[in-house]
Chains A and B, each alone.
Chain A
Amino acid sequence: MTLYTALIVMGLLGLTLGAIIGVFVKLFKVEQDNRAELALELLPGANCGGCGKAGCADFARALAAGEVMPGNCPVSSLEQRAAIALALEIDAGSVARKQAVVCCRADIGAEEMNYNGIQDCNAANLVAGGPTTCRYGCLGLGSCARVCPFGAIEIIGRVAVVHPELCTGCGQCARICPRNVIKMVPANANIHVYCNSPEKAAVKRSLCKAGCLGCRKCEKLLPGKIKFDGLLAVVDYDATDAITPADIEKCNCPVHGIMTEKERCAVAREAAGGKRV
């Protein structure tokens, strides 16, 4: 008899609770957008914020609502974008993939300054204008490396260097950098001018031996490939005829400020004596 009582009581209890749950599911149903969920599954899921939204889920909702296009995700590959576009039956859109580059060679050009305090670029930048000789250069305390979701930035010696094969171009590093020394450039470019200081050559020369002198030799020798932003040479990434390694040799920059990413990495490692910091 006891057995039956228990069975009946438990059965009734189960039924009642099940009914309550069923009612509440109907009552408080949250309208789920299948399209957003589908898109979220297909997105890279790095939550890097490179698209300007608060993470991938937010971007997926925006995708489903038609506010953005898959191409607005800077991290995704072309295949991923196409897959999302196909799944949601929308236009893939085309935003060129970008990558970050740290335009500074303070490790080989500038004296190291003595600094005592928080090992964070934004905090250090508040102390007497930052512990570097040049106030446009990389502080090398690694705020960008810590914020990078992909581990693409390495502090070699005392300057940050981006590893382009890991960089997805989300732009987190450029946003956190207090010196704006990290530039977002097209992903296919691999030759850059490694200097960020717009100051006059004489001032710059006294602070850093690796700074662009603004001599305009490169502009004359490589017209259309290098342009000038004030007193600072920059690679013209929109040029139809892209700059090539042969051009670097042809130009022969007096401070060797134009180089490929690979070369930059090698130079930094050599300056740091091969040690990782």
Chain B
Amino acid sequence: MKSSRNVMTFAGGIHPHGDGKSLSCYTPVQTAPLLDKYLVILAQNAGKAPVPVVKKGDTVKKYQLLAQADGVISANLHSPTSGVVSDIREIQGTMGVPTPAIEITSDGLDEGASPFDPITDWKNVDVEQLKQRVVEAGIVGMGGASFPTHVKLSPPEGKTVDTLILNGAECEPYLTADHRLMQEFPEKVIRGAAIFGRILNIKNIFVGVEINKLDAIAALEHYAEEYGVKVAYLRVRYPQGSEKQLINAITGRTVKSGTLPMDAGCVVQNVATCAALDDAVTLGIPLVERIVTVTGEVVVHPGNFKLKIGTPALEAVRFAGGITEEPGKLVFGGPMMGFAQRSFQVPVCKNTSGILLIPQKQAYNFESSGCIHCGRCVQGCPMHLVPCLLSTAIEAGRFDLAEANHVMDCMECGSCAYVCPDHRPLVQNVRRAKAELRKQMNANKEK
């Protein structure tokens, strides 16, 4: 294993110039004022959506359970504030398709007691109790994939996990939510990591942080030793925060294609997830708010805001002082992997790390006249694929060829399309192929 003092990285990837982080990384996290209405989308986790346990007209307190997890790969949902369930209806979801959501009309009091007992003595309590708390508090991966965290805490028989890695790389341009979180609440992050370490019985805990966040690193190191956590310095390179690349950079291990990080003996958690776990354990409060970066060149006061789950994007923009000109694109998440939204009414979810407004002149970024085989996408691909040839095959309808060239290994990080001088929609082609191949796979299964 490499020493944690070295600056680590992986092969491939890109270095986005002008990463826009300075727009929002210097202002402290602000807590957003209370809103009238919150729209809590039910399906906020990967897997099955939870089942609502409240109905229209019910009065709810803050932190009260709104929906109960349905099965193992599912997560509980809690009320972000006190008020009345004014409606349960379909709204525009973060993926563009209508999805059921619970509308909470606030009573303006924002009151409610924490539903769980704080576990201050987490170092000695039964591990099952801690695991139970993760399930109850509805904690999901807050980096983007929103995979229910408790699933990652129960390694299947025969798999030994010896390393826990906290993902504080935040390699996405423009986003600074994790940066501010690590800088302002380092103890929460580190303690959350230690609790994860206790649950998984791991002593080998790393926090990977890119070295463009030296202030955050300093803050983390202040607490790191106390909780037995090591801070790993990472080179500023996109996608340093991708699970497989992070594991490779810090431990030198390679997660084999088609396997999970657990198979390489690693578990990766986002720093925001750790902070949420710390809240759930030491304070006894479920996951109902998160730090969101509201940013973009057209935002008046870009910054980080503690937003309740269910805050519509429009209100988040209002907190950030509004806009200077009409944006050309609204993106949830970072600019490299985030999703373009259809309207400003889409609410913040557990995995929304950023709300990014892109100016109109940058909104049309795909215009292809022909691949010139420059090979920049090949150099940039962190999975060492050949995106240009994949895309050409897909455009010709040769999904079999794309599959043979490992299109399924692509993680859609967007490095290829970022560097493409021809502005080809390479990632969209890959998505198309993946959808088509999954369809074929399902059809074969049915046969």
Q: Tell me if chains A and B make direct contact, with any CB pair below 8 A.
A: yes
A interface with B by C-beta (< 8 Å): 113-114, 116-118, 120, 122-123, 126-130, 135, 203
Q: Tell me whether B324 is interfacial, beta carbon within 8 Å.
A: no
Q: Which residue of chain B is the closest to A120 with respect to CB atoms?
A: B432
Query: Are A128 and B341 interface neighbours, CB within 8 A?
Result: yes
Task: Give which listed residue, A113, A114, A123, contacts B429 with CB less than 8 A.
Answer: A123
Q: Which residue of chain A is the closest to B93 with respect to CB atoms?
A: A129
Task: Give which listed residue, B340, B432, B436, contacts A118 with CB less than 8 A.
Answer: B432
Quote the shortest CB–CB distance from A73 to chain B (angstroms).
23
* Complex CA–CA separation, A203 to B365 (angstroms): 32
**A135 and B432 in contact (CB under 8 A), knowing A116-B364, A118-B425, A127-B340?**
no
Quote the shortest CB–CB distance from A86 to chain B (angstroms).
36
Q: Which residue of chain A is the closest to B89 with respect to CB atoms?
A: A203
Query: Are B432 and A123 interface neighbours, CB within 8 A?
Result: yes
For the complex with contacts A123-B428, A126-B431, A203-B90, 11 further pairs of A-B residues with Cβ separation under 8 Å are A114-B363, A116-B363, A116-B364, A117-B366, A117-B425, A120-B432, A123-B429, A126-B435, A127-B96, A128-B340, A129-B95
* Complex CA–CA separation, A117 to B368 (angstroms): 9
Q: Which chain A residues border B90 with CB–CB below 8 Å?
A: 203
Quote the shortest CB–CB distance from A30 to chain B (angstroms).
27
Query: Are A129 and B97 interface neighbours, CB within 8 A?
Result: yes
Q: Which residue of chain A is the closest to B427 with respect to CB atoms?
A: A117
* Complex CA–CA separation, A117 to B98 (angstroms): 22
B interface with A by C-beta (< 8 Å): 90, 95-98, 339-342, 363-366, 395, 425, 428-429, 431-432, 435-436
Query: Are B428 and A117 interface neighbours, CB within 8 A?
Result: yes
* Complex CA–CA separation, A117 to B329 (angstroms): 14
Q: Which chain B residues border A116 with CB–CB below 8 Å?
A: 363-366
* Complex CA–CA separation, A116 to B429 (angstroms): 13
Q: Which chain A residues border B436 with CB–CB below 8 Å?
A: 122
Q: Which chain B residues border A113 with CB–CB below 8 Å?
A: 342
* Complex CA–CA separation, A217 to B95 (angstroms): 36
Quote the shortest CB–CB distance from A140 to chain B (angstroms).
17
**A128 and B96 in contact (CB under 8 A), knowing A117-B366, A122-B436?**
yes
Q: Which chain B residues border A129 with CB–CB below 8 Å?
A: 95-97, 342
Q: Which chain A residues border B97 with CB–CB below 8 Å?
A: 129, 135
Q: Which 5 A-B pairs have the closest CB atoms?
A: A128-B96, A129-B96, A129-B97, A123-B432, A116-B364
Query: Are A128 and B432 interface neighbours, CB within 8 A?
Result: no
Task: Give which listed residue, A122, A130, A203, contacts B432 with CB less than 8 A.
Answer: A122
* Complex CA–CA separation, A273 to B283 (angstroms): 64
* Complex CA–CA separation, A126 to B97 (angstroms): 10
* Complex CA–CA separation, A120 to B396 (angstroms): 12
Q: Which chain A residues border B364 with CB–CB below 8 Å?
A: 116
